[in-house]
Structure 1
Amino acid sequence: MLYVREAPGGASRHKPRERVSSDSTITSAVVGRLGVSVLRGSRVTSRHSDQFRALLPILVGLYLPTLILLGTAMVLSIQADIPISRFTRDPAAILGRNPFIGVLSNIGILVWAGCAGVCFFASAVLRARGVKQEWPAFFLFAGLVTAVLLLDDFFLLHERIIPRYLGISERILFPVYAAMVMGYLATFKNNLPRTNYLLLVLALGMFGLSLAVDRFPESILSWHHLFEDGFKLLGIVGWFGYFVTSAYRVVTSAAMADRP
């Protein structure tokens, strides 16, 4: 308890002074901090909720096809009595072989996939920026053509799957793929001169050499597979280089045009 000196003439020298309590001040501070914390927490929760709602279509697009794929593998495993590991594990691990088996072919698949992804992304960006429709369509159909070639190469469609299960000869499929590519080039012939088209010509030439080598028996040409698959890989890389550089130039040009 605190004391103060009494005025002269008082009966006593000191008397109790009422203590100025800080309890109310502390309580107010605590309540204030709690209120701020609750407010911040509600704002964070609101942001999380808004972000989740915005991401919901993306999450559905990402995970629903993946879950369907996993479910399909499970059904096939049960119905055909195939171990599920045959669908989920790496082929080299299943066969107990060196993981570098088919490494150049796998690299080609990665390059195909990268090219398709760049084309689809460029098409989406250009469409969002309101660029004239010919360029978004140019890259959209480039991505579709690349995706078809990717799937054919990855699953050996023209070599194994289609001839075996659909009865369509490999000799028929090559003209179909060639017509698909030529149709794409004819559709967008006005766009080609504004791109690095020499890269595309080089890529198509490499694919042609790969097909030519494929016609030779392995016994005649030494290092047959090196030339056949090597020219194909060079063609894939050239195809990738053409569309990636074209996408970069068109997208950056559109971005520069939007600047004030």
Structure 2
Amino acid sequence: MNKSPTPSPQDKPKQKVEAPMATSRRPKWLRLSSITKICLGVFGIEFLIGGSAELFGIPVRELVRDPAAEYGFPVYGGAFSTIGLVILGAASILLIVGSFGISSPLKRVMQLGGVLSACMTIDDAFMLHEQVLPGVFGISEYAVYLMYFCGALYLYVETWRIADAYLLSAAHAAAFFLCVSVTADVSGLYGGFAFWFEDFAKLSGYVAILAFAIHAARRNLQTAPPAEN
């Protein structure tokens, strides 16, 4: 019987030697999750705002609006403002967290939208464009609105490149209602009706932003390939 030749060491398939996985040198207590970092960042910003207000002597009543005390509304009169802040904050978190770990054309749109929504949430919660920025830093309310407009325009251009009809529709609705709210704010109108009109328009715009965030996150998860390491 013919014996099959014994393969030489050179003919044996070479086994791939994987390099040991690099481990972080940071202590475990510093290896925080993304959501924890976001929460710490929000807490730090809020603490900075409160500390600055205390340092520069800005009264609390000028940082937060209380329609019940200002217009004689019932105690639940500010519920729409609170709901709006919750909706916008949820949209910003959804956009920022949803963009982590995924490589997709929507990644830039979600990051830009998340950062812009987060800035608007903090601004609206503490009335930064009305009291803190003009009074402490000398930045006028119109300059703040101009910065928001430039950021929103850049975000719209990036969204237009995605060519998603639903995202564009949500962006149009958000832009319309927020422009109505800003117009009511800078027009100098005062009183209960002006407050309701501005807040309802703002709330509608925030709902459109949340719809934008939900659709972007869902499309990102459905179509995006895993990010390369």
Query: Contact (CA 8 Å) 1:207, 1:235: kept in 2 or not?
Result: yes
Is 1:205 the counterpart of 2:183? The answer is no
Is 1:146 the counterpart of 2:117? The answer is yes
Task: Give the distance between the partners of 1:217 and 1:177, measured in 2 at CA.
Answer: 20
Larger Rg: 1
Task: Give the distance between the partners of 1:114 and 1:196, measured in 2 at CA.
Answer: 17
Aligned counterpart in structure 2 of residue 58 of structure 1, from 25, 28, 32: 32
Relative to the length of structure 1, the TM-score reads 0.58
Structure with greater proportional helix content? 1
Query: Which blocks of at least 5 consecutive residues in structure 1 are unaligned?
Result: 1-52
Aligned counterpart in structure 1 of residue 151 of structure 2, from 180, 186, 189: 180
- TM-superposed CA distance for 1:212, in Å, is 2.3
Counterpart amino acid of residue 230 in structure 1: F
Please name the residue that 2:86 is paired with.
Answer: 110
Q: Kindly tell me: are residues 57 and 101 of structure 1, through their superposed partners in 2, closer, same or farther at Cα, counting changes over 3 Å?
A: farther
Aligned counterpart in structure 2 of residue 190 of structure 1, from 161, 167, 174: 161
Q: Kindly tell me: are residues 169 and 62 of structure 1, through their superposed partners in 2, closer, same or farther at Cα, counting changes over 3 Å?
A: same
Task: Give the distance between the partners of 2:34 and 2:145, measured in 1 at CA.
Answer: 36
Counterpart amino acid of residue 238 in structure 1: A
Task: Give the distance between the partners of 1:169 and 1:56, measured in 2 at CA.
Answer: 39
Query: Contact (CA 8 Å) 2:160, 2:168: kept in 1 or not?
Result: no
Q: Kindly tell me: are residues 192 and 236 of structure 1, through their superposed partners in 2, closer, same or farther at Cα, counting changes over 3 Å?
A: farther
Relative to the length of structure 2, the TM-score reads 0.65
Please name the residue that 2:16 is paired with.
Answer: none
Task: Report sequence identity in percent.
Answer: 18
Please name the residue that 2:11 is paired with.
Answer: none
Aligned counterpart in structure 1 of residue 195 of structure 2, from 206, 212, 225: 225
Query: Contact (CA 8 Å) 1:204, 1:235: kept in 2 or not?
Result: yes
Query: Contact (CA 8 Å) 1:210, 1:231: kept in 2 or not?
Result: yes
Query: Which blocks of at least 5 consecutive residues in structure 2 are unaligned?
Result: 1-26
Q: Kindly tell me: are residues 91 and 135 of structure 1, through their superposed partners in 2, closer, same or farther at Cα, counting changes over 3 Å?
A: closer
Query: Contact (CA 8 Å) 1:195, 1:246: kept in 2 or not?
Result: no
For the residue of structure 1 that corresponds to 2:160, the secondary structure is coil
Please name the residue that 2:219 is paired with.
Answer: 249
Please name the residue that 1:122 is paired with.
Answer: 98
Query: Contact (CA 8 Å) 1:125, 1:251: kept in 2 or not?
Result: no
Task: Give the distance between the partners of 2:119 and 2:175, measured in 1 at CA.
Answer: 16
Task: Give the distance between the partners of 2:78 and 2:160, measured in 1 at CA.
Answer: 36
Query: Contact (CA 8 Å) 2:174, 2:209: kept in 1 or not?
Result: yes
Please name the residue that 1:17 is paired with.
Answer: none
Task: Give the distance between the partners of 1:200 and 1:59, measured in 2 at CA.
Answer: 30
- TM-superposed CA distance for 1:213, in Å, is 2.4
Task: Give the distance between the partners of 2:140 and 2:202, measured in 1 at CA.
Answer: 21
Task: Give the distance between the partners of 1:184 and 1:213, measured in 2 at CA.
Answer: 24
Query: Contact (CA 8 Å) 2:93, 2:114: kept in 1 or not?
Result: yes
Aligned counterpart in structure 2 of residue 214 of structure 1, from 180, 185, 194: 185
CA RMSD of aligned residues (A): 3.9
